[in-house]
Chains A and B, each alone.
Chain A
Amino acid sequence: MATPAIRVQNLVKNYGPVLAVDNISFEVQPGELVGFLGPNGAGKSTSMKILTTYLPASSGYAWLAGFDVMYQSMQVRERIGYLPESVPLYPEMRVVEYLQYRARLKGVERVGRTSRIDYCMEKSRIREVKNRLLGTLSKGYRQRVGLADTLLADPPILILDEPTSGLDPIQIAETLNTIKELRGQHTVMLSTHILTEVEKVCERVIIINKGRVRFDDTMKAIERREPVHELEVRGPVEQVTKFLQEQSGVVNVNATPVDDGVTAYHVKTQGGKDIREELGLKIATKGWPVRRLDLKREGLEHLYFAVVMQKDEPQPQLAPPPAA
């Protein structure tokens, strides 16, 4: 296998007593488009700052394109494009001037630089503002200027910290579209807390919370996750549960009372087999009225809530609400 584009091993970062990143490890293959999810304060930005060599890790290692972020920082920086959370720009410069300046800093060859800048402006759709002062640009345009900047040197790895925050829905769709087009030629790691974005563009999802990786899988796997039958039945709880468990293929049954006499059951089947029709028929013959019978797939949102709200260690304060 080729060198992973991003490889993180036991990365820890603490700001004094506050543990921002707690022993995370993951790998990203070249050309992958990874969504980095988590609530505010989960450690997304900190991890990204370490990956871009801006901050040192307290312990652990990270390699980008095979180069250590701590000891080969220059080589790493030559290979990344980084879009920070709130794109800071010099307000007195014009868009083209800024990109020219950045291109020189990044060592873009003189021959072909102009067309490269044109291409990046085209990609991030800032052509029409190219002669405007950066200080007069709206939030969405600033974000896009930042995106154009990341693309300038054609880096193999793009690290985008909340590229869509503060944009209107059309701009979000366009930006995501641009990012999606980059997949394949660039490895993209994008952080966000908007789940639908990830569902639309990402191939893989890493969810972190309180500095730990809670979930790491591809979108395909999430879609393939076993569905759950949800039903609400009026009837004696124990008997119904027993009956459901007896059905062929049923692995697990969970009962929770809903309201007077009605109980909700979550039924998992082997291999996610759809047994709705069978169940409906059989329960009806038992004479228990069925209020609802449904097959529900656990989407990303469900997963996210489950992962983020999960309490596996005593925490004095509540997890911050997901700001989706």
Chain B
Amino acid sequence: MSTTSTPTTEPNPPIGSAPLQVETAPSQMMADIPTFTRIIGFAGLFFLVLGAVAVITNMYVGPRIVGPGMGYLLAFVGVGLMLFHAIRDGEQEVRRMYAMLAVAWLVLAVAAAVIPGPLSESGVLSKDKKSGYNLLPWGVGFGLLGLLFTIPFTRHETDEKYKAAAEQGLLWIGAGLALVSLLGPVLGDLFTWLRQYQIFRADFLIGPGIALALLGLAFLCAHLGQRDTSEGTGYWVAFTVGAAGAAVAIYAIGRAVVPTVLYEGPAVLRKPIGSLDTWRVVGRVLMILLFVGIGALAALRQLPNWLRITFAALGVIGAAVFVLGSFSSPVHTPPLPSLVPTGIVLVVLGTIYLAIALGICSDNQFIALTRRELAAYFLSPIGYLVLGGMVLAQWGAYWAFVDGLTESRRAVQEPIVRGYFVSLLTVFALVLQVPALTMRLMSEEKRSGSLEVLLTAPVNETPIVLSKFFATWLFFLITWLPAGLFLIALRVEVGQPFDYRPLLSFYVALAAQGVAFIGVGLFCSTMTKNQIVAAVLMFVVMVFLVACYLIKGSQTALGLPTFLQIVAGKMSFIDVWIEALSGRLPLRDTAIFISIGVFFLFLSVKVLEARKWN
């Protein structure tokens, strides 16, 4: 108190009179010298160098004690450890060194993209070298590493000049990659003479193009993550990303639909004998009405003007094309097929861009809440623990699966992927994973009291519950992605194609069951303030679900009444997996899981609302 400049010795300085001393504090928490993380970082560097040396010597000198596979593994582990160090240690020298490393990765990426390849394949120099050969996986991989090491630098850097430079770098690299990968095929499609260059060809998009588009988006996201996106350039960057995505998607759809409709003309509406086909006419009218509806959205006054103009233009053009196509066929050359696969890929990529931009720009409460929940997984150890655990379990299952494949002397029947997912390890991991993901959702908010803060803001219970569910569900699906990615290694290593399509039906089934798992888990978490109790409750539920499989499989069914046997059979998620992996997606059983999830979400909302019931 003596620091105030009031000359009179009042016991309490009068409030508002004397300017109080400028506070220097936040009682600055000086982190300990991060010795441990530094050791980890050095170990990482050691492994990386060792691995790289092993790989290169194996390639040029001949087989060594440490084989190339081991070398790649060492390098991979080393990079992981260094990344950990880069994230944890923000000391000036350390972060600048990692920034230089990031630049080095980017230079390597550019080199891999530009230098014609293959460099040498088993000692024989290839004749038809072409640039871009090394783009996958090396160019994209190095680019990703560059991005991963740039992010911690921009977060730690205190010097505005360097920070801004890094942010700008992220922005321009991202924009460049997105432009090349998305606009390239579009331009190549419009101007034939461009197709002599590789990046304008459609087959470029299907290969490295997808990877580049996603990498570019990752760079843009990293840039936006550092910027204020509610106003100014941050908002406009996000807006442009979304608009570009939407434009590309619309272009791809239009490219596939418009020439076809105009070429086929009114003939397509008639049966072969010449009379009008009622259902086709109805379909055509519905399409026209759909576009009229889109055009009618322009009448909504609460929408911003640019959106109204876009809707109006889309509606008018779409309706005009379909009306014109119904009465005449102005195009006489048959259109080239463009939807599969280029069109589909462009639509999907454009939609991803649009969705991410919406997620960043939107002020919708549900989106804001979901973003926070999803970020909480990526900022807390539990998220990484679960992700790491799942990767490990799936890797173990993959190992066992490959082992089984090589052991068996006779041909393995398709679908071979069945034995991969339905294994003890994956089921065990799932049983542990779900409670770990859901336990903290609501109970943590209740315990810390942040639920009170949340519910005294103008937010309803429903978006809170739904956002928690949605974010956890997304994360749940992310943890199951590596299992599918491991199979790429199988395809590359063995060189034999196998039927991958059952994977799609498996993932649909898993997503549906995820709704049930996360829904019930969220409900358990809503019931209690204690995370442990929530986890145990959910664990019991998961064990029960596994028991259902055992009951269904056992001969005696433990002497349960028939009704319970049927219920247990329906609850057995493993049986649904087996079905789905044979390529038959059991829709009814999937729907049961979705409805269970929805029901428990409803209950969770009611439990939250129950505090207001008297």
Cβ contact within 8 Å between B614 and A56? yes
Given contacts A54-B455, A105-B365, A173-B20, A111 and B15 within 8 Å (CB-CB): no
A sample of 10 more A-B contacts (CB under 8 A), given A70-B612, A114-B232, A200-B12, is A52-B456, A54-B456, A88-B452, A92-B376, A92-B379, A93-B375, A101-B368, A105-B458, A180-B16, A201-B15
B365 near A141: Cβ-Cβ < 8 Å:
no
- Is A138's CB within 8 Å of the partner chain B? yes
A53 and B15 within 8 A (CB): no
Binary per-residue interface labels of chain B (267-286) against chain A in the complex, 1 for a CB within 8 Å, 0 otherwise: 00000000000000000000
Name the A residues within 8 Å of B380 (CB-CB).
92
The yes or no answer to A19 lying at the interface (CB within 8 A) is: no
20 contacts between A and B (CB under 8 A): A74-B460, A77-B458, A88-B448, A88-B452, A92-B375, A92-B379, A92-B380, A96-B228, A101-B371, A102-B457, A105-B365, A110-B230, A114-B231, A141-B26, A149-B453, A169-B1, A170-B1, A170-B23, A173-B12, A180-B16
Q: Is the CB of B457 within 8 A of A173?
A: no
- Is the Cβ of B456 less than 8 Å from the Cβ of A132? no
Does B332 sit within 8 A of A, measured CB to CB? no
Q: Is the CB of A105 within 8 A of B457?
A: yes
User: B449–A107 contact, CB under 8 A?
Assistant: no
Contact A125 B372 (CB under 8 A): no
Cβ of A55 under 8 Å from chain B: yes
A100 engages B230 (CB within 8 Å):
yes
Chain A residues near B457 (CB-CB < 8 A): 77, 102, 105-106
B29 CB contact (under 8 Å) in A77, A86, A101, A136: A136
Cα-based distance from A90 to B20 in the complex (angstroms): 30
Contacts of A70 in B (CB 8 A): 612
A173-B375 Cα distance, complex, nearest whole Å: 36
Q: Check A110–B363 contact: CB distance below 8 A.
A: yes
- Tell whether, in the assembled complex, residue B452 and residue A54 are in contact, meaning their CB atoms are under 8 Å apart: yes
**Closest beta carbon of chain A to B526's beta carbon, Å:** 16
Q: Which of A79-109 contact B (CB under 8 A)?
A: 80, 82, 84, 86-90, 92-93, 96, 100-107
Q: Does A313 contact B (CB under 8 A)?
A: no
Interface residues in A136-155 by Cβ distance below 8 A to B read: 136-138, 141, 149
- A104/B363 in contact, CB under 8 A: yes
Query: What is the interface residue range for chain A against chain B?
Result: 35 or more
Contact of A114 among B15, B230, B448 (CB under 8 A): B230
Q: Are A104 and B453 in contact (CB under 8 A)?
A: no
Query: Is chain B's interface secondary structure helix, strand, loop, or mixed overall?
Result: loop
Is A174 an interface residue when CB atoms closer than 8 A count as contact? Answer: yes
A217 in the interface, Cβ–Cβ < 8 Å? no
- The residues of B that contact A82 with a CB separation of less than 8 Å are 453, 456
B26 touches A132 (CB 8 A): yes
Indicate whether B27 reaches chain A with its CB closer than 8 angstroms.
yes
CB of A90 within 8 A of CB of B450, answer yes
Q: Contacts A113-B230, A125-B23 given; indicate if A104 touches B452 (C-beta within 8 A).
A: no
Interface string of B436-480 (1 = CB under 8 A from A): 000000000000111011111111100000000000000000000
Chain A to chain B: the 3 pairs with minimum beta-carbon distance, closest first: A88-B449, A92-B379, A88-B450
* Bound-state Cα–Cα, A261 to B365, Å: 75
B15 pairs with A84, CB closer than 8 A: no
Q: Which residues 1-31 of B sit at the A interface, judged by CB distance below 8 A?
A: 1, 12-13, 15-16, 20-21, 23, 25-27, 29
Residue B369 interfacial (CB < 8 Å): yes
Quick check: A200 and B15 within 8 Å, CB to CB? yes
Interface string of A49-87 (1 = CB under 8 A from B): 100111110100000000000100010011010101011
Question: Across the interface, do A78 and B363 meet the contact criterion of CB distance under 8 Å?
Answer: no
Q: Are A104 and B449 in contact (CB under 8 A)?
A: no
Contacts of B368 in A (CB 8 A): 101, 104-105
Check if B456 sits within 8 Å of A110, measured CB to CB: no
Is B410 located at the chain interface by the 8 A CB criterion? no
Residues of B within 8 A of A58 (CB): 614
Q: Across the interface, which residues of B come within 8 angstroms of A80, CB to CB? A: 456
Complex CA gap A257/B390 in Å reads: 81
Residue of A nearest to B158 (CB): A131
A125 to B26, CA, bound (A): 11
Chain A min CB distance to B331 (Å): 44
- A107's partner among B228, B363, B379, B454 (CB-CB below 8 A) is B363
Task: Answer yes or no: B613 CB below 8 A from chain A CBs.
Answer: yes
Interfacial residues, chain A to chain B (CB-CB below 8 A):
49, 52-56, 58, 70, 74, 77-78, 80, 82, 84, 86-90, 92-93, 96, 100-107, 110-114, 125, 128-129, 132, 136-138, 141, 149, 169-170, 173-174, 176-177, 180-181, 196, 200-201
Which chain A positions have C-beta within 8 A of B460?
Answer: 74
Partner of B459, one of A105, A110, A125: A105
Residues of chain A within 8 A (CB-CB) of B375 are 92-93
Q: Which residues of chain B come closer than 8 Å to A101, judged between CB atoms?
A: 368, 371-372
Chain A: minimal CB distance from B523 (Å): 21
Which A residues are in CB contact (< 8 Å) with B372? Answer: 90, 93, 101
- Our pick among B365, B449, B613 for the contact of A56 (Cβ within 8 Å) is B613
B residues contacting A by CB (< 8 A) are 1, 12-13, 15-16, 20-21, 23, 25-27, 29, 228, 230-232, 235, 363, 365, 368-369, 371-372, 375-376, 379-380, 448-450, 452-460, 611-614
If A88-B453, A110-B363 touch, whether A128 touches B26 (CB-CB below 8 Å) is yes
CA distance in complex: A54, B611 (Å): 8
B15–A177 CB distance below 8 A: yes
Residues of A within 8 A of B15 (CB): 173, 176-177, 180, 200-201
Query: Measured between C-beta atoms, what is the minimum distance from B56 to chain A in Å?
Result: 41
Once the chains bind, are B458 and A78 in contact (CB under 8 Å)? Answer: yes
**Chain A positions within 8 Å of B379 at CB level:** 92-93
CA distance A27 to B538 in the complex (A): 47
The answer for the CA separation of A201 and B369 in the assembled complex, in Å, is: 37
Query: Shortest Cβ distance from B15 into chain A, in angstroms?
Result: 5
Q: How far is the CA of A56 from the CA of B371 in the complex (A)?
A: 30
CA distance A74 to B460 in the complex (A): 8
Of the candidates A86, A90, A96, A141, the one having the most CB atoms from chain B within 10 angstroms of its own CB is: A90
How far is A177 from B21 in the complex, measured between Cα atoms in Å?
Answer: 13
Whole-angstrom distance between the alpha carbons of A49 and B449 in the complex?
A: 12
Q: Name the B residues within 8 Å of A132 (CB-CB).
A: 26
A80 to B455 alpha-carbon distance, docked (Å): 12
Closest to B367 in A: A104
Q: Which residues of chain B come closer than 8 Å to A102, judged between CB atoms? A: 457
In the complex, A129→B29 CA distance in Å?
12
Q: How far is the CA of A138 from the CA of B363 in the complex (A)?
A: 30
User: Chain B residues near A53 (CB, 8 Å)?
Assistant: 455-456
* Bound Cα distance from A93 to B25, whole angstroms: 20
Cross-chain contact of A55 among B13, B21, B611 (Cβ < 8 A): B611
* Residues in B neighbouring A149, C-beta threshold 8 A: 453
Q: Which residues of B contact A105 (CB under 8 A)?
A: 365, 368-369, 454, 457-459
Q: Measured between alpha carbons, how far is A176 from B459 in the docked complex, in Å?
A: 29
Contact B20 A89 (CB under 8 A): no
On whether the beta carbons of A74 and B12 are closer than 8 Å, the reply is: no
Task: Flag if A77 contacts B453 (CB, 8 Å).
Answer: no
**Considering the chains assembled together, what is the distance between the CA atoms of A177 and B611 in angstroms?**
36
Question: Which residue on B lies nearest to A51, using beta carbons?
Answer: B456
- Known contacts: A101-B372, A106-B457. The answer to whether A137 contacts B16 by CB under 8 A is no
CB distance B23 to A196 under 8 Å? Answer: no
Q: How far is the CB of B561 from chain A (nearest CB, A)?
A: 41
Q: Report whether A84 and B452 are in contact in the complex, using a CB–CB cutoff of 8 Å.
A: yes
Residues on B with C-beta less than 8 A from A96 are 228
The answer on a CB contact under 8 Å between A110 and B235 is yes
B358 to chain A, nearest CB (A): 14
- Residue in chain B with minimal CB distance to A114: B231
Contact B20 A174 (CB under 8 A): yes
Closest-by-CB residue of A relative to B614 is A56
Min C-beta distance of A289 to chain B, whole Å:
33
A181 CA to B16 CA in the complex, in Å? 9
Give bound CA distance, A200 to B101, whole Å: 57
B459 and chain A: residue at smallest CB distance: A105
With a 10 A CB-CB cut-off, give which of A56, A89, A104 has the most chain B CB atoms: A104
How many Å lie between the Cα of A54 and that of B609 in the bound state?
A: 10
- Docked Cα-Cα span, A205 to B139, in Å, equals 70
